[in-house]
Amino acid sequence: MADLANCPIFEISSEAFQAFHMLFTLKKEKDRKVVAEFIIKNYDKFFKMLNSMIQTQNYLSIRDSLRNLYYIFEDPINEIITIKFISNKVTFLIYSEIDR
């Protein structure tokens, strides 16, 4: 999915990010819990993928990745993910470099 999100063809990249968006903004709580459980079980792999999309030179990939990260943090179901993310020094350094 990350390969599709970083695709130079706008339509393909846009569709990949839309798929991510749909996963992080599901309406039913039980569906959101399934997504949260998946991210928790695959935390390192998931954030390695997300970090690679944020460290690209493609502005749209960076923007959409950060937007999806916001959707994850926004949902109280993802509290464990948020705390783990914030407490990780590596991800903190990666995301603090975005402003520069």
For residues 66 and 54, the answer to whether their CB atoms sit within 8 Å is yes
Query: pLDDT digit string (tens) for 50-60?
Result: 888 888 888 88
Query: pLDDT digit string (tens) for 37-51?
Result: 999 999 999 988 888
Residue that has been written with the tokens 């959707």 in this structure: 71
CA–CA gap between residue 77 and residue 88 (Å, rounded): 19
Number of domains in the chain: 1
- Which 8-state DSSP code applies to residue 50? H
Say whether pTM exceeds 0.85: no
24, two tokens: 């992080």
In terms of residue numbers, what domain contains 51?
2-96
